[in-house]
Amino acid sequence: MARLRSEDKRNAILLAATQIFAERGLSAPTAAISNVAGVAEGTLFTYFKTKDDLLNALYCELKTSLAQALMSGFPRRSSVRHRLQHVWDQYIEWGIANPAEQRALKQIEVWGGLAEESKRAGLAPFEEIQTMAEDAVAQRVIKDLPQSFIAATISALAETAIDFARNDPAKAEQYRSSGFEILWAGIAHP
């Protein structure tokens, strides 16, 4: 007989995986995740057949969480610079408020086992931002650079700003605003 699944248990496993992967890296054993989630290790595999399945599901969950934060209050009718600054500000705030999620996502993004389906699912919530960037290139507001390069640049600068803000909260606003100015200077069309 198949076991009934509980959304609460699934969420507890994902939350525990976020914490464990952020603290111990992706090589952390599933037993540690099960222990933190308060479930038997076999229960983890009722929800996720393999550790790779768990990592792929966690990637999609974290990307959805990030996209929801970035799009909250998104100023659709504002200038490209204002919209991009909104995305930047929300990214920094999300990273500061969610250190385990940010660290776990960073590790999963460079993990070699991420399925193509998960990559596509992870990018889907960011379509409006990608369309904005494509339109900005066409309108010569930002430089004609590969979207993947712009996204990687934003991510690297944001992670730097997040790390500095976490280490020196009194200067968090300075790091956030300076980081955006550096980004804009690098991608804005002259």
| 126 is a domain residue | yes
| 3 is a domain residue | no
**Count of domains observed in the chain:** 1
Closest to 19 (Cα-Cα) out of 96, 100, 102 = 100
The reported pLDDT for the residue numbered 148 is 87
Per-residue burial over 153-176, b if 16 or more Cβ lie within 10 Å, else e, is ebeebbbebbebbeeeeeebeebb
Average pLDDT, consecutive stretches of 10 residues, N- to C-terminus, the chain (190 residues): 72 97 97 96 94 98 96 94 97 97 96 95 92 93 92 93 97 98 95
| 124 is a domain residue | yes
The reported pLDDT for the residue numbered 3 is 54
The reported pLDDT for the residue numbered 2 is 46
The reported pLDDT for the residue numbered 190 is 87
| 34 is a domain residue | no
| 15 is a domain residue | no
| 35 is a domain residue | no
The reported pLDDT for the residue numbered 4 is 53
| Helix locations, 2-145, DSSP H | 7-24, 30-37, 41-47, 51-71, 80-97, 99-109, 116-123, 127-138
| 50 is a domain residue | no
The reported pLDDT for the residue numbered 68 is 96
Residue 180: give the domain boundaries.
Answer: 74-187
Q: Which CATH number does the domain housing residue 177 bear? A: 1.10.357.10
| 122 is a domain residue | yes
Q: Is the pTM of this model over 0.75?
A: yes
Q: Which two tokens stand for residue 109?
A: 């993004």
